[in-house]
A and B are shown apart, each in its own frame.
Chain A
Amino acid sequence: MSVTTTEATGSTEIRPFQVDIPAEALDDLRGRIAATRLPEAETVSDATQGVQLATMQALVRYWGTGYDFGRLEARLNALPQFITEIDGLDIHFIHVPSRHENALPMIITHGWPGSVIEMLNVVGPLSDPTAHGGSAEDAFHLVIPSMPGYGFSGRPSDTGWDPDHIARAWAVLMDRLGYTHFVAQGGDWGAIVTDRMGAQAPPGLLGLHSNMPGAVPPDIFKTVAAGEPAPSGLSPEETRAYEQLSFLYTKGIGYATEMALRPQTLYGLADSPVALAAWMLDHDAKSYEDISRGFVEEQPVGNLTRDEILDNITLTWLTNTGVSSGRLYWESNLGFFDVKGVTVPAAVSVFPRELYQAPRSWTEQAYPNLIYFNEVDAGNHFAAWGQPELFTSEVRAGFRSLREGRSS
C-alpha cells in the first residue's frame, strides 16, 4: 500500500481519513520478513559496528511471529484523522480538540525515524488532562501532522519541502483549522521545523517547546563540526555538551550524511523490511541501546516497547516512505543543533539521554525569549515516545505561563 499523491487541486477541503491496510500488503510484508537473509554477526562484542545481529534476529522473530499487525490500524483509527492539501501536497494529520473549550491549540511535529506513532501516548494526557492526573487548565487542542514524505502524507515529487516550507505549511494548517492562537512543539526534525516556525513567527504563534533545542552558538558549532578540540573557557556543562556533539559529528551521523547526499541510493529501505528496521533503529547510540534492550532482553526502557517500535517501522514499510522520509536530510541545509533565530517565547526541556544536553547558558543565548528551561531525569531522543508522562508534564509546565493573562 502506498499513498498516491493526486494532482494538486488547490482545494482547502479537510477530508476525514481512515487507515485501511489491504490484507495483501500485510501478507507480502510477512512473507518478506520470513524470507529475510541476514549477514554474519558483527566482529565485535558491542554495538560499535552498527545494529547487532542478535537484535535484528530478535526483531525479525517477533515481527514475523509475535507482533499483531492489526494494532497499527486500530491505534490510528481510534483517533480523528484528516487529510488536507497544502501547497499541492496532501498532509495527513491527527486532530483531537479537547473538550475543554479554553484549551490551548498545539501542533506537534514528529521527527526521523519517527511518525505520528511517537505521539500517540501523549494524545490523551494532553487533550484530556483531567482523566490523566492534570487539571482542565492544562488542556490542549492537539494537531499532529505527518511531515511530507512521512506516513500517510503525500510524498513530494519535486524539491523544496525543507523545514522552512514545512513550518509555513503548519501555520497554514492551524489557520485552516480555525486556530487564531496556538503553540508548537517538536523534537528531532520536529524541533527544527518548530524552531523555524519560531523564527518565521506567523501570526497566532504564541510560543514553542522543544525537546531538542538548537542552542549551539555559531563559533562552537563551527569548531565541533570541523572535529576540532573544545575551545577554552567552556563551563563544565558546555564542555560536556561539546564532547557529546563531537562524538556525534565524528561517529554518530553516518546515516544522516548518507541521506543528506544520496537518499535515493537506499533502495534496500523500500525492498527489505529488515533493512528498513535496522536503518531506523540506528538513530543514535543511546536510543539504540534502549530500543535494543526491548527486543533482546524484552525489558523495554520506558514506553519504547517492541510493539511501539514495530508500529513505527511497519507504518513506514506499508507507506513505503523509507526513502521519501530520508530525503528531508537532502532537502535541508540547516545545521541540526545550531541557533535557528527563534524570536517567539520558547520553552526547553533537556532529556538526559538526548543527543546532547543543551546547557542553560547556550539555551538562553539561542532563545532570547526563554520562558521555561528544565532538565529532567529520564528519557532519550524519543522524549514523547519513551517518556509520555514526563513529556506531558514538561509540555504543560512549559506553556503554563502563556495561558496566564489570556482571556478565556
Chain B
Amino acid sequence: MSSTATAVKVRPFDVDIPEEALDDLRRRIAATQWPERETVPDDSQGVPLAVMQKLARHWATEYDWRKCEAELNALPQFITEIDGLDIHFVHVRSQHEDALPLVVNHGWPGSIIEQLKIIDRLTDPTAHGASADDAFHLVIPSMPGYGFSGKPTGTGWGPERMGRAWAELMKRLGYSQYVAQGGDWGAFVVDQMGLQAPEGLLAIHTNMPATVPADVDRASLAGEPPPAGLSAEERRAYEELIRTYGQVEYAHMMAARPQTLYGIADSPVGLAAWLLDHNDADAQPAAAVAEALDRTESETGDLTRDEVLDNITLYWLTNTGVSASRLYWEYKGGFFNAKGVSIPVAVTVFPSEQYQAPRSWAERAYPNLIYFNEVDRGGHFAAWEQPELFSDELRNAFRSLRT
C-alpha cells in the first residue's frame, strides 16, 4: 500500500473487503469448536459460553458487514505515510469554515468504529441542535497496527511516536491550530501530545485522564493501603484503581507475550471473546458492552450488538488482533499516573470509567485545566456509548479556546 516516491501524498481510501474473506469468516464461525461451559453461574471465569454462542449465531447468520463498510465508505477516508508507516484516517471537514480542527484517537479494543456516531454531531452541529460556533473539522486516525493503518514491522510505535505522528498528520492536512481528544490508548496518546506540545496544538480533551499522584500510584499498584490524608472522593478513586488492577490480566498478557495470541488471528470467537473481555467500572466484560449485545437497534445512539460486531469484524478482516495488542508491549510507562502535561487540558469524568478522577487530582495533574466536568452516564467507551453527551462535552470543553 505504500509508495515511497509519494511519501507525503494523501491518498483517498475506500474499504473493499473481498467476498471470500466474508465467506471464510462465516464458515469459521459456523465451524466453531466450543469449550464446555464455565463452572460458575456468573461471568467470574470470563465471557460466559451462552453469551458467546448467542453472539456467534447472530454473527454467522444475520450480521451484515457490508452495512458497516457502506457507512465507512460514506465518509472521506485517506491513507498517508508517516514515519514509514501507512496511516489510515477519516477526515470530515465541517461546512463551517471557522470550525476548530480536532484529532480524535481511539483505544483498545476499539477502532475508528468507536467514533462514527460523533462525526456528524461534531462537524455539523446545527443539524443537531447546537450552534455553528461549536463546529469541528474532524480527523480520526487508525492507530498503527489497528484497522486499515499499516502494521509496524519494527519496534517503537508507542504512544509517544503516535503523538508525534498525529501532529505531522494535522500539519500535513494544513491545520495550523487544532485540538486533540482521546480515551483509553487514545488518552495516552493525547497526554503524550500534551507533553510534546507541538506547534499548533491548542489543548487536549481526555475522557480517561491520567491524574493519579505519585504516592497513590505506587501504593495502588503494590496493592497497599491508601496513603493517609485522602479525601472521600480520592479514597473512592483509590479503591476503583485497586479494582481495575485486578481486572487487567489481558493487559499484562499483551504487554508480556502479544505474539503468543495466535487464537485471535485464527479463531473468530477467540478474537471476539478476547476483545469483549475489557472491563469498565461496573463489570468485566464492560457492562455497557454486555448490555449492547442484547440491543438490536437504538434511535438515540446507544451502543448496539451490530456496532460491537462491526468493531470485532474490522479486527478480524484486517487480521490486526496481534498487531493491536503489541501496543501494550511497546508501552513501558505508567497507566493512570500524572504525566506532567502543561498545555490547556479539558477533562470529562464518566461514571463507569476505570476510575473517577477527582477534581483535586485533575487540578494537580493538569495545572492548566480549562474544563472539568463529571457527567451522569457513560463509561470507558464514552464516545461509543453516549455520543450525544460526549459531543456536548467536547463542545463545552473547547469553547473557551475559540473566543
CA–CA, A264 to B276, complex, Å?
12
Docked-complex contact A43 and B154, CB < 8 angstroms: yes
Contacts of B265 in A (CB 8 A): 37-39
Query: In the complex the two chains form, is A272's CB within 8 Å of B153's CB?
Result: no
B259 and A268 contact, CB distance less than 8 A: no
Question: Does B261 reach chain A (CB closer than 8 Å)?
Answer: yes
B232 at the A interface (CB under 8 A): no
Given contacts A264-B46, A265-B273, contact A254 B253 (CB under 8 A): yes
User: What are the residues of chain B within 8 A of A52 when measuring CB–CB?
Assistant: 259
- B273: A residues at CB distance < 8 A: 265-268
- How large, as a class, is the contact surface on chain A? 35 or more
For residue B39, CB closer than 8 A to chain A, the reply is yes
* Cross-chain contact of A44 among B155, B253, B256 (Cβ < 8 A): B155
Pair B266/A268 contact, Cβ less than 8 Å: yes
Asked if A62 lies at the interface with its beta carbon under 8 angstroms from chain B, I say no
- A264 and B38 contact, CB distance less than 8 A: yes
Q: Mark B74-91, 1 if CB is under 8 A from A, else 0.
A: 000000000000000000
Cβ–Cβ < 8 Å partners of A169 in chain B: none
For B269, list chain A residues within 8 Å (CB).
Answer: 267-268, 271
B35 touches A278 (CB 8 A): no
Out of B246, B260, B264, B271, which one reaches A282, CB within 8 Å?
B260
- What chain B residues lie within 8 Å of A262 (beta carbons)? 45-47, 249-250, 277, 284
Q: For the complex, what is the distance from the CA of A268 to the CA of B261, rounded to whole Å?
A: 9
Q: Is the CB of B249 within 8 A of A278?
A: no
Find out whether the CB atom of A254 lies under 8 angstroms from the CB atom of B270.
Answer: no
- Indicate if A362 sits at the interface (CB-CB under 8 A): no
Given contacts A36-B266, A226-B222, A271-B32, contact A42 B259 (CB under 8 A): yes
- Asked whether, in the complex, the Cβ of A38 is within 8 Å of the Cβ of B262, the reply is yes
The count of chain B contact residues (Cβ–Cβ below 8 Å) is 57
**CB contact under 8 A between A261 and B155, given known A39-B265, A156-B39, A267-B270:** no
Pair A157/B266 contact, Cβ less than 8 Å: no
Taking a contact as CB atoms under 8 Å apart, the answer to whether A274 and B322 are in contact is no
Q: Nearest Cβ distance between residue A29 and chain B, in whole angstroms?
A: 10
The reply to whether the CB of B186 lies closer than 8 angstroms to some CB of chain A is no
- The verdict on B257 contacting chain A, using a C-beta distance below 8 Å, is yes
- In the assembled complex, the CB of A396 is this many whole angstroms from the nearest CB of chain B, namely 37
Contact for A40 among B28, B151, B272, CB less than 8 A: B151
* Contact residues in A for B257 (Cβ distance below 8 Å): 49-51, 254-255, 282
Contact with B along A205-227 (1 / 0, CB 8 A): 00000000000000000000011
* Residue B255 at the chain A interface, CB threshold 8 Å: yes
**A327 neighbours in B (Cβ, 8 Å):** 39, 45
Q: Are B45 and A267 interface neighbours, CB within 8 A?
A: no
Asked if A323 CB lies within 8 Å of chain B CBs, one says: yes
- Cβ of B262 and Cβ of A39 under 8 Å apart? yes
Contact among B49, B256, B272 for A251, CB-based, below 8 A: B256
- The answer to whether A41 has its CB under 8 Å from any CB of chain B is yes
Measured between alpha carbons, how far is A35 from B151 in the docked complex, in Å? 22
With a 10 A CB-CB cut-off, give which of B49, B259, B261, B276 has the most chain A CB atoms.
B259
Contact yes or no, A264 B35, CB < 8 A: yes
Could you say which residues of chain B place their CB within 8 Å of the CB of A226? 222-223
Q: Which residues of A contact B39 (CB under 8 A)?
A: 156-159, 327
Residue of A nearest to B56 (CB): A267
Contacts of B159 in A (CB 8 A): none
Please indicate the chain B residues that have their CB under 8 angstroms from the CB of A39 in the complex.
Answer: 259, 261-262, 264-265, 319, 321-323
Is B252 positioned at the interface, with any CB of A under 8 Å from its CB?
Answer: yes
Question: Are A271 and B262 within 8 A (Cβ)?
Answer: no
A50 touches B45 (CB 8 A): no
Count of inter-chain pairs, beta carbons less than 8 A: 185
B274 on the A face (CB < 8 A): yes
Partner of A271, one of B36, B270, B319: B270
Contact with A along B119-148 (1 / 0, CB 8 A): 000000000000000000000000000000
B223: which A residues are within 8 A, CB to CB?
226
B5 at the A interface (CB under 8 A): no
Q: Is the CB of B153 within 8 A of A267?
A: no
Closest B residue, CB atoms, query A257:
B249
Most buried by B among A36, A39, A40, A227: A39
Complex Cα gap A192–B35 (Å): 26
Whether, in the assembled complex, A322 has its beta carbon less than 8 Å from a beta carbon of chain B, the answer is yes
Q: What residues on B are CB-neighbors of A155 within 8 Å?
A: 36
Q: Would you list which residues of chain A between 250 and 288 have a CB under 8 Å from chain B?
A: 251-252, 254-255, 257-258, 260-272, 274-279, 281-282
Minimum CB–CB distance for A172 against chain B, Å: 21
Interface pair A56/B262, CB less than 8 Å apart = yes
Interfacial chain A residues near B249, Cβ < 8 Å:
254, 257-258, 260-262
Given contacts A158-B39, A258-B249, contact A272 B260 (CB under 8 A): no
Name the interface residues of B48-71: CB closer than 8 Å to any CB of A.
48-49, 52
Establish whether residues B34 and A271, one from each chain, have CB atoms under 8 Å apart when the complex forms.
Answer: yes
Q: In the complex, what residues of B have CB within 8 A of residue A156's CB? A: 39
Contacts of A40 in B (CB 8 A): 151, 153, 319, 322-323
User: Which positions 1-51 of chain B face chain A at CB distance < 8 Å?
Assistant: 28, 32-40, 45-49
The answer, yes or no, to whether A324 is at the interface (CB within 8 Å) is yes
Q: When the two chains form their complex, are residues B263 and A269 in contact, meaning their CB atoms are under 8 A apart?
A: yes
A-B contact pairs, 20 of them (CB 8 A): A35-B28, A39-B264, A40-B153, A43-B152, A49-B257, A157-B39, A255-B257, A261-B249, A262-B47, A264-B46, A264-B49, A265-B274, A266-B273, A267-B47, A267-B263, A268-B264, A271-B266, A320-B35, A324-B35, A324-B36
Query: Could you tell me which A residues sit within 8 Å of B by CB distance?
Result: 28, 35-44, 49-53, 56, 155-159, 226-227, 251-252, 254-255, 257-258, 260-272, 274-279, 281-282, 320, 322-324, 327, 330
Name the 4 nearest CB pairs between A and B, nearest first: A268-B263, A268-B270, A275-B263, A264-B46
